[in-house]
Amino acid sequence: MSEPTVFVVDDDEAMRNSLRWLIESVGLKTETHDSAASFLEAYYPGRTGCVILDVRMPGLSGLELQDKLSFQDANIPIIVLTGHGDVPMAVRAMKSGAVDFLEKPCNDQLLLDCIQHALDQDAEQKADMSLKTDIKSHMAQLTPREHDVLEMVVEGTPNKEIAAALGVSTRTVEVHRAKVMEKMQANSLADLVRMSMVIGLVHEEAEAEG
């Protein structure tokens, strides 16, 4: 995995340069952009890091940038900087998925902590993302019948009931189940359930019920 980058997007040059000066003082790689458009040009989903965004910019605004990024499924963490007392805007930013918001002028430690936290979150997300990708690719190998069996198995349905529901013999269910385990590369039923939960096939509530 490449070195994470802190993207500073602000139309005020002094602001950009001073942030870079501060962030680089803790040894983080920093990249500055004077507009959202310029950042989007330089960014691709694989890049790790976080974005420090001035919520008010001419052209593509911070909020619009957030929308664009989530559409690209690039869950890069965004830290929003706001002017004094611009709370409603900050709330909207958080709701749109920003990890944090800070009021200018902000405490340097707070900012750096936020950045660190965001970078961690990003790294985690990136890992999580690769797991999900694996599970999804395994699941894609299942036949429709096997997919049905998987869904019922992770919901905790006994083999007999599965057989009755599908109108096949228990023996057949067992064969399907073994194929599912094999294709999903699951060592145990608990493993299979966890995988299902990762990709959102099973919700927490369902799990609890199960």
Terminal CA-CA length for the chain: 37
Considering the complex, what minimum distance in angstroms separates the CB of residue 16 from another protein?
Answer: 9
Q: Which residues are CB-neighbours of 133 under 8 A, at least 6 positions away? A: none
**For another protein, the closer CB: 55 or 173:** 55
Minimum distance from residue 92 beta carbon to another protein (Å): 13
Residue 167 CA to residue 88 CA, distance in Å, equals: 57
Residue closer to another protein by CB (options 27, 167) is 27
For another protein, give the closer residue by CB, 19 or 99: 19
The b/e string for 65-93 (b: 16+ C-beta within 10 A; e otherwise) is bbebbeeeebbbbbbbbbeeebeebbebb
Minimum CB separation of residue 57 from another protein in Å reads 7
The nearer residue to another protein, 80 or 150, going by C-beta atoms, is: 80
Q: How far is the CB of 79 from another protein (least distance, A)?
A: 14
Q: How far apart are the C-alpha atoms of 8 and 50, rounded to whole Å?
A: 9
State the minimum distance, in angstroms, from the CB of residue 107 to another protein: 8
- Which lies closer to another protein via its Cβ, residue 32 or residue 159? 32
Which long-range CB contacts under 8 A does 180-185 form with residues at least 24 apart? 180/142, 180/146, 180/149, 180/150, 180/153, 183/138, 183/141, 183/142, 183/146, 184/135, 184/138, 184/139, 184/142, 184/150, 185/138
**Which spans of this chain sit near another protein (rule: CB under 8 A)?**
12, 14-15, 17-19, 21-22, 24-26, 56-59, 61, 83-85, 104-106, 108
